[in-house]
Amino acid sequence: MPPSRYPPPLSLRCVAASCPIPITIMLLLVLYFSGGSGSPTASSPRYTQTGVYFNSTGTAAYASATLYNPAAAPTPNYFDSVPPGYTSPQAPAPLNRTSLNPSPRWDAAYTKARAYLSNWTLEEKVQLATGAGWQIGRCLGNIPAIPSQKFPGLCLQDSPLGVRLADYVSAFPAGINVASTFDKDLMYARGYAMGEEFKGKGANVALGPATNMGRVAAGGRNWESFGGDPYLSGWATEMTVKGMQDAGVQAVVKHYVGNEVERKREMSSSNIDDRTLREIYVHPFLRAVQSDVVSVMASYNLINGSWASQNAQTLNQILKTDLGFQGYVMSDWQGTHSGVLAAINGLDMTMPGDIVFNSGDSYFGYNLTAAVRNGSVSTARLEDMAERILAGWFLVGQDEGYPAVNFDSFRRLSTLNNSHVDVRADHDVVIREIGAASTVLLKNVNSTLPLKRPRSIFLAGSDLAPSPRGPNGFEDRGGLNGTLAMGWGSGTAEFPYLVDPLTAISYQARHDRSLLDWHFDDWDLKTLQARAQTAQADLVLVGVHSDSGEEYITYDGNVGDRNNLSAWNNGDNVVLAAANVSSNVVVIVHSVGPMDMEKWIEHPNVTAVLWAGLPGQESGNSLVDVLYGAYSPSGRLPYTIAKRREDYPADIDYVPVRGPPYQPQVNYTEGLFIDYRHFQERKITPRYPFGFGLSYTKFNYTNLLITPLTQTSNIQEHHSRNVHHAGASGGNTTQVGSSLTPYLQDPFYHVSIDVQNVGNITGCEVPQLYLSFPASTGEPPKVLRDFSKVKLWPWDAKRVEWTLSRYDLSIWDVAAQRWKIPDGEMGVVVGKDSADEGVKGMFCPGQC
Ligand code: BGC
């Protein structure tokens, strides 16, 4: 069940029984790195309204929709070279929002929105839907204030891991790391803390979370999202959205849908069959809608040949009808391709407003006004757009007491525009915990870890060191020459500081009276070996990394997507050089996604591997917590790490970045078989399976029970039972909300299991619930449905409980266009990871 409060019980969650770092030292570290004592709070400076900004000379300017000059007729030529693509099957916009699942919250918000809008002019409603234009206003996207209606405007700001382009904000762990905590409380806590920061800065709309799937291992933005499984992504999406919106900010779940590669993302067509689309790629968005997400960002790409921002099938039919989404759809930045068609097919807001950056025109703006006047777009549809946008604003309570914008993304030196409000509060605590909780222990020979006061430590690999350029030395983090703690692109924030591994390990070494020496030149391996030998170190810690990001930045030849899956900066050779001179090499990996470790993973001198992902500003502290056992490792891989790149089900088509093909076809031919689903289907042994992660202790699972909630009797382990139900029906898909009816979504089965800590160290375990559908369905051998994180003292046991809905037990019936529980026996496996045989049971939710 989702936690209902914040902060959740963080501090003692997976903290080991005996903490080797005295609390005082920890406190001192926190104080030291946060630059002072006490928790700074957001003060209340004289905020100006959204929409009013000051240019570099300090003159107040006003951003408004009248910016668009009708004389400058829009002549879009940006995609002239792109074949227009056909338009998706037409599906009408569901204007009558009478939902099958009436949400009292949305109903109340709509009542307010309708009342508020009652005297708005057509132009004012159009203005709500039209961004002011690129860099016009203080935020990445700006809906100008409408003084006549006392509407303060909207500030839309990146990113999924914190407030972008602002100071005195936190740099949270990336989405991929919070996914690898497999901890719903931490997912919520991170969302809530980020929401507080957006609110403190006066940003109404946070452009996150991102929840695209890790379909290809080298996908440049995979790290912004939640990995390779729709249910893990779904949980992370739900908890993040809830956290953010509970804190008062509007969440935007993105990029809807099929934006899984960066290369030519603005012109490629993701071709996805209906069942795969619903079961894999739409699923996390369904969970966002279930969590009352306010907004959805349409992706850049086309879907089955039709732009995502004007795709009637994905917007009007799936999102707004089947899922009954009540909020508004915005375009990605410059991702709108038409006015009338986009409006009719489901787009509610164009961002940043102009057709291309600084073009001074818009597909909406005066063009939408004209289209409504001449009947091309109905008044009812415009009304619907405006209601959706304002209902979202009311839903999260932004109509009262919301701070005005107090920073400026583009004029950061302007003293008039930037109040430098410190919004970080004590978020470093949750950041540090997520960093530790997301760290995955992949290898640990003879209990090398946790470290026990080593006498002498040698560090190697530039990943353990601070960057000589500082943590923000590359714009939007588009470069790497020190430790890696986030990827690059719009999904970033400025680090307020970055605790690198060297610094954190130094403090620990001082405490332990360890000797500490290092060599961070990744290319001078002879010196590395000589120095490591001279140090006579008990262990060599080697840091390696692999980076990627968004397409608009190319670094070292990587156009967003990675060109290869190997360690950057000679990483493999650094590990091998260390392993040739030391019999105790512990490798730390900071990576945006799966990385090839084959050159050294089985080397007998590589005794332990910690996979730290992208932990954010507290990186070194989080690492030390796990390395030395203050925090019991309980992170799990949110994707499969293969032995060979060819083992993955899909890869990037490295088409030329410039020139043809102008509309690359990205065919999702692997269908439902992404990530571990493919490896299991093809019986390919990965290096490490999805969901994998070791612990410093051991756990046992027993007593699996599967109980139909409509029946009273229990079903025992390995015991099958015929329970006859009428088969799940999603109802008529032309009805709004048919995929989220209580019939489909209410708890239908109860699954529980005993988990016991059978080792002698306190630790956290992550039992994972997988289903095996009847073979006739064509589903992958196993699919994840739920997971829990439980903390257990030595020999302590807990009962872990989950519920499954009819939807969870269904497949998408393409012919019938509805969710359906298949006939036949279904298997349940509760295991430690996707490959674990675990504890099994059978049941029959359909007809047997
Ligand atoms: C990205 C979005 C981002 C937007 C605004 C786009 O390039 O795809 O994720 O929110 O820019 O920065």
Sheet (strand 606-611) strand order: 440-444, 606-611, 585-591, 539-546, 456-460, 515-519
Q: Is 140 in the pocket of ligand 1 (CB under 6 A)?
A: yes
Q: How far is the CA of 490 from the centre of ligand 1 (A)?
A: 6
The confidence band for 766, taking pLDDT boundaries of 50, 70 and 90, is very high
Q: Strand ranges (DSSP E) for 774-844?
A: 783-787, 790-792, 797-805, 811-813, 818-820, 826-831, 839-843
Q: Ligand 1 centroid to 846 CA: how many Å? A: 43
As a whole number of angstroms, the distance between CA 255 and CA 225 comes to 10
Q: 490, 551, 552: which to mutate for ligand 1, most atoms within 8 A of CB?
A: 490
pLDDT band at 209 (very low <50, low <70, confident <90, very high): very high
156-180 per-position pLDDT tens digit? 999 999 999 999 999 999 999 999 9
Q: Does the structure show a pLDDT above 50 at 290?
A: yes
C-alpha–C-alpha distance, residues 304 and 769, integer Å: 33
Question: 493 exposed, middle or buried (CB, 10 Å; 0-12, 13-18, 19+)?
Answer: buried
Residue 207, ligand 1, Cβ within 6 A:
yes
The backbone torsions φ and ψ at residue 202, rounded to the nearest 5 degrees and listed phi first, read: 85, 10
* Contact residues for 190 (Cβ-Cβ < 8 A; gap 6+): 172, 173, 178, 240, 243, 430, 431, 434
Distance in angstroms (rounded) separating the CA atoms of residues 612 and 176: 11
Q: Which atom of ligand 1 is nearest to the CA of 158?
A: 10
Q: What is the pLDDT of residue 621?
A: 98
The finding on whether 332 has its CB within 6 A of some atom of ligand 1 is: yes
Does the pLDDT of residue 813 top 90, yes or no? yes
Proportion of the chain above pLDDT 90, given as a percent: 84
- Cβ of 254 closer than 6 Å to ligand 1, yes or no, is yes
Alpha-carbon distance 8 to 1, whole Å? 13
Mean pLDDT, rounded, for 247-267: 98
Neighbours of 698 (CB within 10 A): 14
Determine contact, residues 161/224, Cβ cutoff 8 Å. yes
- Helix (H) or strand (E) holding 456, with range, is strand 456-460
Longest dimension (CA), the chain: 82
Which secondary-structure segment (H or E) carries 142?
strand 141-143
pLDDT of residue 39: 29
Rg (CA), the chain: 26
Q: How confident is the model at residue 80 (pLDDT cuts 50, 70, 90)?
A: very low
Average pLDDT over residues 186-207: 98
Which pLDDT belongs to residue 237? 98
Sign of CA pseudo-dihedral 789, 453, 464, 622: positive
Beta strands 141-143 and 154-157, pairing class: antiparallel
Task: Assign 103 a pLDDT band (cuts: 50, 70, 90).
Answer: confident
Nearest atom in ligand 1 to 265's CA: 8
Q: Is 197 a pocket residue for ligand 1 (Cβ < 6 Å)?
A: no
Buried b (16+ CB within 10 A) or exposed e, 335-372: bbbbbbbbbbbbbbbbbbbbbeeebebbbbbbbbbebb
Q: Find the 683 Cα to ligand 1 centroid distance in Å.
A: 38
Which ligand 1 atom sits closest to the C-alpha of 252? 10
Half-sphere exposure (CA, 13 Å, Cβ side) for 113? 26
Cα–Cα distance measured from residue 547 to residue 491, given in angstroms and rounded to the nearest whole number? 13
**How many CB atoms are located within 10 Å of the residue 387 CB?**
23
pLDDT at 16: 62
Helix (H, G, I), strand (E, B), or coil: what is residue 715?
strand
Q: Which residue is closest in CA terms to ligand 1's atom 3? A: 490
The predicted structure's pLDDT at residue 99: 73
| CA 280 to ligand 1 center in whole angstroms | 23
For the chain, what's the residue count?
848
Q: Is the CB of 806 under 6 A from ligand 1?
A: no
Q: Which residue has the tokens 């900010």?
A: 249
- C-alpha 734/C-alpha 318 separation (Å) is 10
Nearest CA to ligand 1 atom 12: 490
* The pLDDT of residue 732: 52
Q: What distance in angstroms lies between residue 332's CA and the mean position of ligand 1's atoms? A: 6
Structure tokens belonging to residue 205: 């709309």
- Asked if 350 and 68 touch (Cβ cutoff 8 Å), the reply is no
Per-residue pLDDT for 320 more than 70? yes
Average model confidence (pLDDT) across the chain: 89
Q: Kindly report the protein residue whose alpha carbon is nearest to atom 11 of ligand 1.
A: 333
- Helix/strand number for the chain, H first, E second: 18, 31
Of the listed ranges 5-19, 204-218, 608-622, 738-752, the one predicted with least confidence? 5-19
Alpha carbon of 235 to ligand 1 centroid (Å): 23
Whole-number pLDDT of residue 33: 32
Q: In what order do the strands lie in the sheet with 665-667?
A: 306-307, 302-303, 269-271, 665-667
141 CA: nearest ligand 1 atom: 5
Residue of the CA atom closest to atom 4 of ligand 1: 333
pLDDT tens digits, 487-545: 999 999 999 999 999 999 999 999 999 999 999 999 999 999 999 999 999 999 999 99
CA 591 from centroid of its chain's CA atoms: 15
- Tell me, in angstroms, the distance from the centre of ligand 1 to residue 425's CA: 27
Q: Is 332 annotated as catalytic?
A: yes
Q: Look at residue 737 and tell me whether its pLDDT is greater than 50.
A: yes
pLDDT of 175 reads: 98
The pLDDT of residue 733: 57
> Catalytic: which of 246, 322, 332, 384?
332
Q: Ligand 1, atom 8: nearest CA belongs to which residue?
A: 332
Residue of 158, 205, 253, 552 to test ligand 1 pocket, by largest number of atoms within 8 Å of CB:
158
Compute the half-sphere exposure of residue 291: CA atoms within 13 Å on the CB side of its CA.
33
- pLDDT score of 38: 29
Q: Could you tell me the distance, in angstroms and rounded to a whole number, from the CA of residue 574 to the centre of ligand 1?
A: 36
Atom of ligand 1 nearest to the CA of 159: 10
Question: Closest Cα partner for 191 from 141, 252, 281, 140?
Answer: 252
Cis peptide before 660 (omega within 30 of 0): no
| Distance in angstroms (rounded) separating the CA atoms of residues 429 and 26 | 11
Write down the pLDDT at residue 10: 44
